[in-house]
Amino acid sequence: MNTELPEAHQRLADTVRAFADEVVAPVSAGHDAAGTFPYDLVAQMAELGLFGLPFPEEYGGTGGDLLALCVAIEQLARVDQSVAITLEAAVCLGAAPIARFGSEEQKQRWLPELASGRALAGFGLTEPEAGSDGGGTRTTARREDGQWVVDGEKAFITNSGTDITRLVTVTAVTGTAERPDGRVRKEISAILVPTDTPGFRAEPAYDKVGWNASDTHPLTLRDVRVPEENLLGEEGRGHAGFLSVLDEGRIALAALAAGAAQGCVEEAVRRARERTAFGRPIGGHQAIAFKIARMQTRAHTARLAYRDAAARLLAGRPFRTEAAIAKVVAAEAAVDNARDATQVFGGCGFLNEIRVARHYRDSKVLEIGEGTTEVQLMLIARELGL
C-alpha cells in the first residue's frame, strides 16, 4: 500500500488545511459557545466544492472520490469537529444514499443542489428505541391513494433542522415477510421526505456535551404524505441499503477522528514549546515529550487505517472489516489524544475557549455515532468466524 496521497489529493488537503486554519479556527470557539450553526463557513466550504467531492460532474459534483472527501474532512476536524461532521454527514449520509440508490429522476432533482452545498439532507435511521439495532425500526409507511403515509419518530439526526435542510431520507417499516425458520421479519424501506411536507417536524435541537455547532434534532413524522415515487431504491431493501452506506461513511468518520487526533498533537506540541516549567519548556521534560510522542503514533496509525480502507473501496475490494477497524482505531485515538492533550495544557485545558478542551468534549461521540465501537467489534469478530 502506497501511503502517500496522489498529487491532486495532496493539493486538496493543503487547500482545506489553509482554509481550516485561517477561516474556520478563528470562529470555532464562538460557534461552539453559542451553539450556532456555522452558515458562513458552510457557504465558503460550498464555494470550495467540498460538498460535491465524490459525486459525478453530471450531477453537480467535482468528479472526485471518497478519499478526496476524507482528506478534506480530516483537515477540517483538526480545528473543528462540528464543521467536519457537518460536511461528513451532508455527503455520506445526506446525499450518498440518493447517489447510490436513487432513480435518475431523483438524482437530477436532488443531487445538484446537495452537491453544491446550497442545501443539506439528513439520514433518518436512528430512533428512540432503534439505535445499533436498526432492525428495531418502529416508524411505518403505508400506501394510500398513490402516496406513502409515514408515521414515526427519529432521533439524533444530523443536519435535519437547518435553514437550508431540504429533505431527510427516512427508514420505515413497509411490510413483513416470513423467514425460512417461520419467524416474521420487518421489511424496511427508505423514503425521501422533503422537510416542507406537512406533518414533518424537526423538534428543538439537543443540548449536547460536544459538537455544539453541529445541527442535531429529534424528528416527528405524523401523517406525512409523499408521492410513491419518493421510495429510494427497492421496497423492503432500505435497511440493507443504509447499512452499506454506513460502511462507506465509517471510513469518512474515521478520517474525521484521525484529524481530531492530529489536531490534538499539533496543539500539544505548540503548548509544550511555549509553556515553561522548572526553568525550561515543558516539552523538554521526558514525561511530556513521551506523552506527545505516543499521541503522534495514534494519529499516524489512525490515518493509515482509514486510508487503507478507502484504498480497498476505491479498488473494488472488500473493505467492510477494514472500515470497522479504521473507525475503532481512529475513534480511540481521538479520545485518547484529547485526554492527553488536555493534560499537557493543565488547567488551561479545562477552558472551553481552548481547542483541546473542545476536542475533549467532542471526541467521545466518535465512539458512538455511525455504529458504536461495540458494533464495529461485532463486525470484526464475525469476519474472524466468531
**What ranges do the domains of the chain cover?**
7-120, 122-235, 240-383
Q: What is the pLDDT of residues 25-40, one digit of tens each?
A: 999 999 999 999 999 9
> For residue 171, what are the β-bridge partners?
190
Q: What is the pLDDT of residues 215-232, one digit of tens each?
A: 999 999 999 999 999 999
Is the confidence at residue 57, as pLDDT, over 70? yes
Q: What's the pLDDT at 66?
A: 97
Taken as a whole, the chain contains a residue count of 386
Backbone angles phi, psi at 384, to 5 degrees: -85, 0
**What superfamily would CATH give domain 240-383?**
Butyryl-CoA Dehydrogenase, subunit A, domain 3 (1.20.140.10)
All three cell numbers of 46: 460550498
pLDDT band per the 50, 70, 90 thresholds, residue 252: very high
Angstrom distance (rounded) from CA 356 to CA 339: 8
Give the burial class of 109: count Cβ atoms within 10 A of its Cβ; 0-12 exposed, 13-18 middle, 19 or more buried. Answer: middle
All three cell numbers of 151: 408515521
pLDDT band per the 50, 70, 90 thresholds, residue 130: confident
Q: What is the mean pLDDT of the chain?
A: 95
Q: Is the pTM for the entire model greater than 0.75?
A: yes
370 is catalytic: yes
Q: What's the pLDDT at 1?
A: 65
Q: What's the pLDDT at 331?
A: 98
267: closest CA among 210, 345, 353? Answer: 345
8 A C-beta contact, residue 226 and residue 148: yes
Catalytic residue (choose from 127, 370, 374, 383): 370
Angstrom distance (rounded) from CA 157 to CA 126: 7
Is the confidence at residue 169, as pLDDT, over 90? yes
At the topology level, CATH places domain 122-235 in: Butyryl-CoA Dehydrogenase, subunit A; domain 2 (2.40.110)
Q: What is the pLDDT of residues 285-306, one digit of tens each?
A: 999 999 999 999 999 999 999 9
Distance in angstroms between the alpha carbons of the first and the last residue of the chain: 28
Angle at alpha carbon of residue 29, lines to 28 and 30, rounded to 5°: 90
Is the confidence at residue 332, as pLDDT, over 70? yes
Q: What is the pLDDT of residues 173-217, one digit of tens each?
A: 999 877 777 777 889 999 999 999 999 999 999 999 999 999 999
Angle at alpha carbon of residue 130, lines to 128 and 133, rounded to 5°: 155
For the chain, the 3-state helix, strand and coil shares in percent, each to the nearest 5, are 55, 20, 25
Strands 231-232 and 184-194: antiparallel
Q: What's the pLDDT at 383?
A: 95
Q: What is the pLDDT of residues 59-100, one digit of tens each?
A: 999 999 999 999 999 999 999 999 999 999 999 999 999 999
Domain 7-120 coded CATH 1.10.150.120? no
